[in-house]
Protein backbone atom coordinates (compact mmCIF):
# COMPACT_ATOMS: atom_id res chain seq x y z
CA UNK A 1 0.00 0.00 0.00
CA UNK A 2 1.08 3.54 -0.70
CA UNK A 3 1.89 5.37 2.59
CA UNK A 4 0.76 8.72 1.14
CA UNK A 5 -2.68 7.29 0.32
CA UNK A 6 -2.97 5.82 3.79
CA UNK A 7 -2.00 9.18 5.33
CA UNK A 8 -4.56 10.99 3.15
CA UNK A 9 -7.25 8.55 4.24
CA UNK A 10 -6.29 9.09 7.88
CA UNK A 11 -6.56 12.86 7.39
CA UNK A 12 -10.09 12.50 5.98
CA UNK A 13 -11.14 10.34 8.94
CA UNK A 14 -9.55 12.81 11.38
CA UNK A 15 -11.53 15.67 9.79
CA UNK A 16 -14.79 13.76 10.23
CA UNK A 17 -14.00 13.33 13.93
CA UNK A 18 -13.49 17.09 14.40
CA UNK A 19 -17.00 18.00 15.56
CA UNK A 20 -16.04 20.87 17.86
CA UNK A 21 -15.10 24.39 16.71
CA UNK A 22 -12.43 26.71 18.03
CA UNK A 23 -10.38 29.84 17.42
CA UNK A 24 -6.60 29.69 17.88
CA UNK A 25 -5.04 33.10 18.45
CA UNK A 26 -1.93 34.92 19.64
CA UNK A 27 -1.86 37.93 21.95
CA UNK A 28 0.64 40.71 21.26
CA UNK A 29 2.07 41.27 24.74
CA UNK A 30 4.61 43.77 23.38
CA UNK A 31 1.91 46.25 22.35
CA UNK A 32 -0.90 46.70 24.90
CA UNK A 33 -3.99 48.54 23.75
CA UNK A 34 -3.70 52.24 24.71
CA UNK A 35 -5.64 53.22 27.80
CA UNK A 36 -5.76 49.71 29.31
CA UNK A 37 -2.57 49.94 31.37
CA UNK A 38 -1.54 46.61 29.85
CA UNK A 39 -4.24 44.64 31.65
CA UNK A 40 -6.38 42.46 29.41
CA UNK A 41 -5.86 44.87 26.56
CA UNK A 42 -3.52 43.18 24.13
CA UNK A 43 -3.80 43.03 20.37
CA UNK A 44 -4.95 39.68 19.05
CA UNK A 45 -4.06 37.84 15.86
CA UNK A 46 -6.34 34.95 14.88
CA UNK A 47 -4.31 32.03 13.51
CA UNK A 48 -7.11 29.55 12.83
CA UNK A 49 -10.89 29.39 13.07
CA UNK A 50 -12.69 26.15 12.40
CA UNK A 51 -13.12 22.50 13.22
CA UNK A 52 -11.27 20.75 16.03
CA UNK A 53 -11.41 17.70 18.25
CA UNK A 54 -10.85 18.04 22.00
CA UNK A 55 -9.99 15.07 24.17
CA UNK A 56 -8.84 15.00 27.79
CA UNK A 57 -5.33 13.77 28.42
CA UNK A 58 -5.63 10.72 30.67
CA UNK A 59 -3.98 10.91 34.08
CA UNK A 60 -1.60 8.10 33.15
CA UNK A 61 -0.18 10.24 30.31
CA UNK A 62 0.20 13.49 32.27
CA UNK A 63 3.83 14.25 32.99
CA UNK A 64 5.15 16.32 35.85
CA UNK A 65 3.71 17.06 39.25
CA UNK A 66 0.50 18.81 40.22
CA UNK A 67 0.93 22.56 40.61
CA UNK A 68 0.96 24.17 44.04
CA UNK A 69 -0.25 27.65 44.92
CA UNK A 70 -0.54 29.06 48.40
CA UNK A 71 -0.02 25.63 49.91
CA UNK A 72 -2.88 24.11 47.91
CA UNK A 73 -2.49 21.49 45.22
CA UNK A 74 -4.14 22.53 41.95
CA UNK A 75 -5.35 20.11 39.32
CA UNK A 76 -4.34 21.28 35.86
CA UNK A 77 -6.72 20.02 33.20
CA UNK A 78 -4.89 19.03 30.01
CA UNK A 79 -6.38 18.33 26.61
CA UNK A 80 -5.17 16.94 23.31
CA UNK A 81 -6.64 19.22 20.64
CA UNK A 82 -6.56 18.19 16.98
CA UNK A 83 -7.01 20.61 14.09
CA UNK A 84 -6.58 19.98 10.34
CA UNK A 85 -3.04 19.19 9.26
CA UNK A 86 -3.10 22.25 7.00
CA UNK A 87 -3.06 24.54 10.06
CA UNK A 88 0.42 26.03 10.51
CA UNK A 89 1.96 28.85 12.51
CA UNK A 90 0.61 27.77 15.90
CA UNK A 91 3.24 27.94 18.66
CA UNK A 92 3.53 27.17 22.35
CA UNK A 93 1.80 29.84 24.48
CA UNK A 94 -0.84 30.60 21.82
CA UNK A 95 -4.42 30.45 23.06
CA UNK A 96 -7.40 28.44 21.87
CA UNK A 97 -11.01 29.31 22.65
CA UNK A 98 -13.66 26.62 22.27
CA UNK A 99 -16.67 28.10 20.46
CA UNK A 100 -18.80 24.97 19.80
CA UNK A 101 -18.71 21.58 21.51
CA UNK A 102 -21.00 18.68 22.31
CA UNK A 103 -19.73 19.14 25.88
CA UNK A 104 -21.30 22.39 27.14
CA UNK A 105 -18.64 22.65 29.86
CA UNK A 106 -15.99 23.28 27.18
CA UNK A 107 -17.80 26.08 25.33
CA UNK A 108 -16.11 29.40 26.08
CA UNK A 109 -13.09 27.80 27.73
CA UNK A 110 -9.69 29.21 26.87
CA UNK A 111 -6.87 26.68 26.55
CA UNK A 112 -3.17 27.52 26.40
CA UNK A 113 -1.06 25.64 23.86
CA UNK A 114 1.75 23.93 25.74
CA UNK A 115 3.31 22.05 22.86
CA UNK A 116 2.71 20.65 19.42
CA UNK A 117 3.02 17.08 18.24
CA UNK A 118 4.65 16.66 14.82
CA UNK A 119 5.34 13.72 12.55
CA UNK A 120 5.84 12.78 8.94
CA UNK A 121 2.75 10.58 8.64
CA UNK A 122 0.21 12.17 10.98
CA UNK A 123 -3.48 12.66 10.27
CA UNK A 124 -3.99 15.95 12.14
CA UNK A 125 -2.11 18.80 13.81
CA UNK A 126 -2.18 17.93 17.52
CA UNK A 127 -1.59 20.29 20.42
CA UNK A 128 -1.19 19.59 24.13
CA UNK A 129 -3.21 22.31 25.86
CA UNK A 130 -3.92 23.35 29.45
CA UNK A 131 -7.09 24.96 30.70
CA UNK A 132 -6.33 28.68 31.00
CA UNK A 133 -9.86 29.82 31.86
CA UNK A 134 -10.38 32.08 34.87
CATH number for the domain spanning 37: value is: 2.40.10.270
Task: Find the domain containing 37 and state its range.
Answer: 3-64+72-131
Mean pLDDT of 94-120: 94
The H or E element containing residue 122 is none
Q: What is the pLDDT of residues 20-63, one digit of tens each?
A: 999 999 998 777 766 655 556 788 899 999 999 999 996 544 44
Q: What is the pLDDT of residues 59-102, one digit of tens each?
A: 544 444 455 666 666 667 899 999 999 999 999 999 999 999 99
Q: What is the pLDDT of residue 64?
A: 45
In sequence order, the β-bridge partners of residue 26 are 45
Q: What is the pLDDT of residue 11?
A: 87
Task: Count the domains in the chain.
Answer: 1
For 33-104, list the strands marked E by DSSP: 42-56, 67-69, 72-74, 78-83, 95-100
Nearest to residue 54, comparing CAs of 127, 134, 132, 118? 127
User: Does the model's pTM come out above 0.75?
Assistant: yes
Residues 6 or more apart whose Cβ sits within 8 Å of residue 125: 82, 83, 84, 85, 86, 87, 88, 90, 116
Nearest to residue 78, comparing CAs of 63, 93, 95, 99? 63
Contact 115, 43 (CB under 8 A): no
Amino acid sequence: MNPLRIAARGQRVALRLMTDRCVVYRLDYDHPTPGTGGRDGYGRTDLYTGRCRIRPVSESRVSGKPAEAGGSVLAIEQYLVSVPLSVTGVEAHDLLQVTVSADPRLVGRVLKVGGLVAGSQVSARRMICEDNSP
